Copies of this chain bind each other. A is one copy, B any other.
Amino acid sequence: MKYSFYDDYSEGVAPELLDYIASNNTDQQRGYCTDDYCVLASERIRAAFDMHSADVHYLPNGTVANVVGLVSMLKAYEGVISVKSGHINTHEAGALEATGHKILWVDSQDGKLNPELIEKAYASYEDEHTVRPKVVYITQPSELGTLYSLDELRAVVDSARSKGMYIYMDGARLAMALASPLTDIRMKDYGCIGIDMFYIGGTKNGGLYGEAMVILNKDLKSDFRYHIKQRGALMAKSRFMGQQFARFFDEDDLYMRLAVNATSSATKLAQGLHGLGVEITENGTNQLFPVLHNDAITRLSEQYGFYIWEKISDTQSRIRLVTSWATSELAVDELLSDLTGILAEGE
């Protein structure tokens, strides 16, 4: 296989992160996220996002971040509103339900929530016979690669607030939203728009592992470490997560530079595909969903890795191509070149 466009975790670790770890390896540190590097990383995250009273915690991966974050916001009989395609609803093996909570999902064409959908999901709530919705779960960008605009996000926040619900944002790929030309939400907006809790993904933006959970609502801060520990997510040698995030948010904007490579590679790939007459919607993130003839898909898959996303017709399917911090121009060019050949033969 020439190159995998399967996902954004097929690559190794960004060399800058590894260098930082190697250069800061001989000191002794306290564990469990009380080390100097976690402290430094949290300072830098607070500064970068302009949210000076936020608490920041470090968790090993996105699924457990979602579990810990959501559980910390819920009483035993409360549930979470999500779109059907939400990661917690589809690809976390029932991890949230395993902690006792129901997901109250609604279908959404574009993978995003809006006040109407929130209203619809909330309407299932009557009294003690039904689950009480307490958290609105959103993902930026969504599982479908779409992005909330500032106005859209504000509308979701207002809708949730008006019903006494919290807002939790899954930021597994937040880097790509930050690096996208197709949303007007800036880094500093996330801290002040009314989100109660969100996490900043590390794994999918070149990290070894680790996500940074940001708690903005002070009511949710006090016992968060108990939840982390109880769900098996308190890492003893937390220094490595601290080092990664301290390096991500150092002066040279590594976090953004890595993300920009992912999104600009996607943009270039999208434009190339469009030039080849392929049906594609550019969504501004690092996931592309072009439609190809099944024969072309078969040929392309001999040299490139990607998922077939959905059947469009008997002869056509939508595939998913994911770029990342590590995607080279060469890989994009080669795929476009090879596909040009495949399509030419197919005519």
Contact = CB atoms under 8 A, between A and B. Distances in A.
B12 A25 contact: yes
Interface in A61-119: 61-64, 66-67, 71, 75-77, 79, 90-95, 97-103
Stoichiometry (number of copies): 4
B27 A12 contact: yes
A205 to B, nearest CB: 11
A76 B98 contact: yes
Contacts of A314: none
Interface stretch (A236-244, A274-282, A336-344): A236-244
Q: Report the contact-size class of chain A (Cβ under 8 Å from the partner).
A: 35 or more
A10 B28 contact: yes
A149 interface: no
Nearest to A172: B236
Contact of A233 (B21, B101, B232): B232
Given A93-B129, A130-B90, A31 B18 contact: no
Interface of A: 3-4, 6-7, 9-13, 15, 18, 21-22, 24-31, 60-64, 66-67, 71, 75-77, 79, 90-95, 97-103, 124, 127-132, 203-204, 207-209, 223, 225-237, 239-240, 305
11 contacts: A6-B30, A9-B31, A18-B25, A28-B305, A60-B209, A67-B232, A94-B100, A97-B100, A97-B101, A98-B231, A203-B237
